[in-house]
Amino acid sequence: MPGQSSTRDRMVDAAFALFDEQGYDATTVDAIVERAGVSRSTFFRAFGSKEDVIFPHHPDLRARIEARLAAGSAETRVVAVREAAGLVLEQYLSEGDVALARYRLTRTVPALRGREIASMLGYQQLFREALLHWLDGPDAELRAELLAAGIVTGHNVILRRWLRGQTDDPRGELSHALDLVMESRGLATAAPHGALGTTVVVVESNRSGAEVADVVRRALEG
Amino acid sequence: MPGQSSTRDRMVDAAFALFDEQGYDATTVDAIVERAGVSRSTFFRAFGSKEDVIFPHHPDLRARIEARLAAGSAETRVVAVREAAGLVLEQYLSEGDVALARYRLTRTVPALRGREIASMLGYQQLFREALLHWLDGPDAELRAELLAAGIVTGHNVILRRWLRGQTDDPRGELSHALDLVMESRGLATAAPHGALGTTVVVVESNRSGAEVADVVRRALEG
DNA sequence: CGTCGATGTGATACCCAGTGTCACACGCGT
DNA sequence: ACGCGTGTGACACTGGGTATCACATCGACG
């Protein structure tokens, strides 16, 4: 292959540049492929549609969320949900300017707005299915759906605040938002089965295992 | 005008019939207008897009929700939310078979699914804006968004159950779902400002004003 | 070293949704 | 009878998306 797999990157860059210069609707696929130096066929093979070029990472992110939730259990559901939601936020934070450009586009172009909404609802489905296995009791189905909606909605509120430049601590605010969501649905209860063993829940940490263990030991001894 | 305004109805009927016979994607607008006996121009003037013919009532419903919420206040917010959510449910219930046909389509055709999701998020925005005026305290913005998402999500769960034939009492289940949503966010609190006057909240009733008054009188006297 | 298949790419033709424009017919009031 | 607004039809055009065929590069294998 002549152009490695960077042909994809070239198309993304060309698309975002043109969208920024002349708007989404006014930019034709022909113009994108011309600037990227590829053919129409290549574009549609890589992205499937003009909209997909705006969200080139969604399939990958979706897979990562699914994997994180699949690694959780009824006992570790709180941290599983927190980390899975964190994956989404981190994806946007790491994209930086691209995320901002996308936000500007999704705000103004209805078609893209619908596209993003659909993606978010896809994430919500992942959370709902995971929660459905972790919850029991009356209204489990309804509560799982409400919780999933709360998680995604809470995340979106914080993400939007960050995109608007209204916060410098999106991670902390997401954590607080998830507190609000999970507390109100009784999800934050540790050891849901009333086990008498030792349950350690590490909600969030960037320390090493040894450091965490040290903190725990001192807490128990103190 | 020769064909009254039933040209619109004829197009809707023709579209649903063809979608049912050969699927959404396989049905061209030309086929629809041919069966309806109108021209292409007429179709696009009436609906704007092929998708819009599936949701011909959304603009009207949106206006009714907005009106109901606008008629509410911080004191009557609980009943305002309940009735506004009820408007959506009643719309679907009154459509009967058409709602079922639409559900079948939206489940299978991704484009229509995205369309419906976008509509639902439009309703969510109406609730969010109303709630934003009725809530105060910390995290008002976040709580309004979470509540709006809960209301719409709860409604959708019940609606979906009804569309699947899993319930005979969607109104009752919606009421219960909204209980769950509002209770968990402290929205159900009557007289939020701590007023010492008399606050009467009629949560749901199909009785006349006189009958309700009679029940209240007996409750106070007993 | 030649052959083969897999993969990424280009070129072309086609379908169909959606827009814009002009023309026509009808009802309605003056 | 005359305009005038409105709903409709006819037609041409743009542009997203699909299908098909051709070609070029690279690695595997005999």
Find the mean pLDDT for residues A133-160: 93
Check B142 against A154: CB less than 8 A apart: yes
- For residue A159, which of A110, A93, A61, A87 has the smallest C-alpha distance? A93
pLDDT for B64-113, tens place per residue? 999 999 998 888 888 899 999 999 999 999 988 889 999 999 999 988 99
pLDDT of A90 reads 96
Residue A83 makes CB contacts below 8 A (sequence gap 6+) with A68
Find the mean pLDDT for residues B189-210: 45
| Structure confidence at residue A213 as a pLDDT band (50, 70, 90) | low
A173, with CB counted inside 10 A (0-12, 13-18, 19+), is buried
Residues of chain B in contact with residue A146, where contact means CB-CB under 8 angstroms, are: 150, 153-154, 157, 180-181
Tell which A residues from 31 to 60 touch B, by Cβ distance under 8 Å.
Answer: none
Highest mean pLDDT among A182-186, A207-211, B80-84: B80-84
Find the mean pLDDT for residues A176-193: 66
Highest mean pLDDT among B4-13, B65-74, B176-185: B65-74
Q: How far is CA A219 from the centre of its chain?
A: 34
- How far, in Å, CA of A36 to CA of A13, rounded? 8
In degrees rounded to 5, what are phi and psi of residue B184? -70, -10
3-state secondary structure of A4: coil
Check B118 against A121: CB less than 8 A apart: no
> Integer distance in angstroms from CA B163 to C1' D23?
53
Residue with tokens 């430049």: A165
Residue B26's nearest nucleotide, by CA–C1', is C16
Rounded (10°) CA dihedral B52, B56, B59, B63: -160
Q: Render the burial of A98-118: b for 16+ CB within 10 Å, e for the rest.
A: bbebbbebbeebeebebbbbb
pLDDT of B195 reads 39
Tokens of B87: 């408007």
Dihedral (CA of A80, A82, A85, A86) sign? negative
In Å, what is the CA distance from A100 to each residue of A126, A150, A162, B125, B197? 25, 24, 10, 22, 50
Check B153 against A146: CB less than 8 A apart: yes
Q: Please indicate if any CB of chain B lies within 8 Å of the CB of A102.
A: no
| Structure confidence at residue A189 as a pLDDT band (50, 70, 90) | very low
Tell which A residues from 169 to 208 touch B, by Cβ distance under 8 Å.
Answer: 177, 180-181, 184-185
Check A142 against B180: CB less than 8 A apart: yes
Predicted confidence (pLDDT) at residue A99 exceeds the cutoff of 80: yes
Residues of chain B in contact with residue A164, where contact means CB-CB under 8 angstroms, are: none
pLDDT for A63-87, tens place per residue? 999 999 999 888 888 889 999 999 9
Report whether A98 contacts A16 (CB < 8 A). yes
Nearest to B118 among A117, A145, A154 (CB): A117
pLDDT for B105-157, tens place per residue? 999 998 899 889 989 999 999 999 999 999 888 888 999 999 999 999 999 99
Tokens of B13: 């009927």
Check A142 against B185: CB less than 8 A apart: no
- How far, in Å, CA of A31 to CA of B94, rounded? 48
Chain A residue nearest residue B119, CA to CA = A114
B202 in the Ramachandran plot: left (φ > 0), alpha (ψ -120 to 50) or beta?
beta
- Strand C contact at CB of residue A209, distance < 7 A: no
Q: Please indicate if any CB of chain B lies within 8 Å of the CB of A141.
A: yes
Q: Please indicate if any CB of chain A lies within 8 Å of the CB of B121.
A: yes
**B72 or A188, which is more confident:** B72
- For residue A92, which of A174, A151, A202 has the smallest C-alpha distance? A174
In Å, what is the CA distance from B25 to each residue of A160, B21, B112, B135? 35, 11, 10, 45
Residue B107 makes CB contacts below 8 A (sequence gap 6+) with B113
Q: Please indicate if any CB of chain A lies within 8 Å of the CB of B111.
A: no
Check A184 against B185: CB less than 8 A apart: yes
**Which pTM does this prediction carry?**
0.80
